[in-house]
Structure 1
Amino acid sequence: MVYLSRYTTAKGVQRVIKADVLAIGELNVDLIISGLTSMPELDREIIAKQASLALGSSTAICACGISKLDFKTAFIGKVGNDEYGKFVVDTLAAYKIDTSNIIVDSSVETGMTISLGYNNDRALITVLGSIDKLQGRDINFYAIKHLRHIHVGSFFLQSSLRKDLADIFRLAQENGISTSLDPGWDHSGTWDYGLKDVLRYTSIFLPNEQEALHISGCNSVEKAAEALSEFAETVAIKRGKDGCTVCSSSKLYTHESFLVENVVDTTGAGDSFNAGFIYGYLHNYTVEQCMRYGCACGAICVQQVGGATGCPTIGEVNDFLRNHS
Structure 2
Amino acid sequence: MTQPAYDIVAIGNAIVDVLAPADDGFIAENAMTKGAMQLVFSAEEADALYAKMAPGQTVSGGSAANTIAGMAALGSRCAFIGQVADDELGDIFAHDIRAAGIRFDVPARAGQPTTGRCLIFVSPDGQRTMNTFLGASHYLPAQALDRDLIANSAWLYLEGYLWDPEEPRAAMRAAIEVARAAGRQVAFTVSAEFVIDRHRGAFHDLIDAGLIDCLFANQEELVSLTQAADVEAAIAAVSAKVPLLVVTFGPDGAMAVAGGERTRIAAEPIDKVVDTTGAGDLFAAGFLHGRIAGRSTEQSLRLGAICAAECIGHYGPRPIADLKALAASI
TM-score, normalization: structure 2? 0.83
Q: Which position in structure 2 is the counterpart of 1:33?
A: 20
Q: Which position in structure 1 is the counterpart of 2:204?
A: 196
Q: Which position in structure 1 is the counterpart of 2:118?
A: 113
Match of 1:76 among 81, 84, 106: 81
Q: Which position in structure 1 is the counterpart of 2:294?
A: 284
Q: Which position in structure 2 is the counterpart of 1:65?
A: 70
Summarize the Cα distance change of 1:43–1:190 in structure 2 as closer, same or farther, 3 Å threshold.
closer
Give the count of matched residue pairs: 302
Deviation at 1:43, TM superposition (A): 7.7
Q: Which position in structure 2 is the counterpart of 1:245?
A: 255
Q: Which position in structure 2 is the counterpart of 1:103?
A: 107
Give the letter aligned to residue 118 of structure 2: T
Provide the rounded CA distance (Å) in 2 between the counterparts of 1:244 and 1:38: 32
Provide the rounded CA distance (Å) in 2 between the counterparts of 1:243 and 1:282: 21
Q: Which position in structure 2 is the counterpart of 1:226?
A: 236
Q: Secondary structure at the match of 1:307?
A: coil
Q: Secondary structure at the match of 1:260?
A: coil
Give the letter aligned to residue 169 of structure 1: I
Match of 1:165 among 168, 172, 179: 172
Q: Which position in structure 1 is the counterpart of 2:46?
A: none
Deviation at 1:226, TM superposition (A): 2.2
Give the letter aligned to residue 219 of structure 1: A
* CA contact 1:22–1:74 (8 Å) conserved in 2: yes
Provide the rounded CA distance (Å) in 2 between the counterparts of 1:238 and 1:88: 28
How big is each residue's C-alpha offset from its partner over 1:66-97, in whole Å with a ceiling of 9 and x where there is no partner?
10010121111110111110110011111111
Summarize the Cα distance change of 1:127–1:148 in structure 2 as closer, same or farther, 3 Å threshold.
same
Q: Which position in structure 2 is the counterpart of 1:175?
A: 182
Match of 2:137 among 101, 126, 131: 131
Deviation at 1:318, TM superposition (A): 2.2
How big is each residue's C-alpha offset from its partner over 1:29-56, in whole Å with a ceiling of 9 and x where there is no partner?
1111236364423389xx9886111111
Give the letter aligned to residue 154 of structure 1: G
Deviation at 1:270, TM superposition (A): 0.5
Provide the rounded CA distance (Å) in 1 between the counterparts of 2:311 and 2:98: 20
How big is each residue's C-alpha offset from its partner over 1:197-225, in whole Å with a ceiling of 9 and x where there is no partner?
33322221111222111111123223222
**Identity across matched positions, percent:** 22
Provide the rounded CA distance (Å) in 2 between the counterparts of 1:135 and 1:65: 26
Give the letter aligned to residue 238 of structure 1: T
Summarize the Cα distance change of 1:26–1:53 in structure 2 as closer, same or farther, 3 Å threshold.
same
* CA contact 1:235–1:248 (8 Å) conserved in 2: yes
Provide the rounded CA distance (Å) in 1 between the counterparts of 2:284 and 2:146: 25
Provide the rounded CA distance (Å) in 2 between the counterparts of 1:222 and 1:255: 16
Provide the rounded CA distance (Å) in 2 between the counterparts of 1:30 and 1:283: 30
Deviation at 1:186, TM superposition (A): 4.7
More helix by share: 2
* CA contact 2:239–2:258 (8 Å) conserved in 1: yes
Q: What does 1:202-221 correspond to in 2, within 5 Å? A: 202-221=212-231
In structure 1, runs of 5+ residues without a counterpart are: 1-16
Give the letter aligned to residue 178 of structure 1: Q
Match of 2:8 among 2, 12, 21: 21
Q: Which position in structure 2 is the counterpart of 1:184?
A: 191
Larger mean Cα displacement after TM superposition, 146-155 or 123-132: 146-155
Larger mean Cα displacement after TM superposition, 72-81 or 251-260: 251-260
Q: Which position in structure 2 is the counterpart of 1:255?
A: 265
Provide the rounded CA distance (Å) in 2 between the counterparts of 1:48 and 1:142: 43
Larger mean Cα displacement after TM superposition, 142-151 or 67-76: 142-151
How big is each residue's C-alpha offset from its partner over 1:249-284, in whole Å with a ceiling of 9 and x where there is no partner?
122232211121121111111100000010111123
Provide the rounded CA distance (Å) in 1 between the counterparts of 2:61 and 2:321: 13
Aligned-pair Cα RMSD in Å: 2.5
Deviation at 1:196, TM superposition (A): 2.4
* CA contact 1:23–1:151 (8 Å) conserved in 2: yes
Deviation at 1:154, TM superposition (A): 3.2
Larger mean Cα displacement after TM superposition, 215-224 or 60-69: 215-224
Q: Secondary structure at the match of 1:206?
A: strand
In structure 2, runs of 5+ residues without a counterpart are: 32-51
Q: Secondary structure at the match of 1:309?
A: coil
* CA contact 1:166–1:201 (8 Å) conserved in 2: no
Deviation at 1:149, TM superposition (A): 1.4
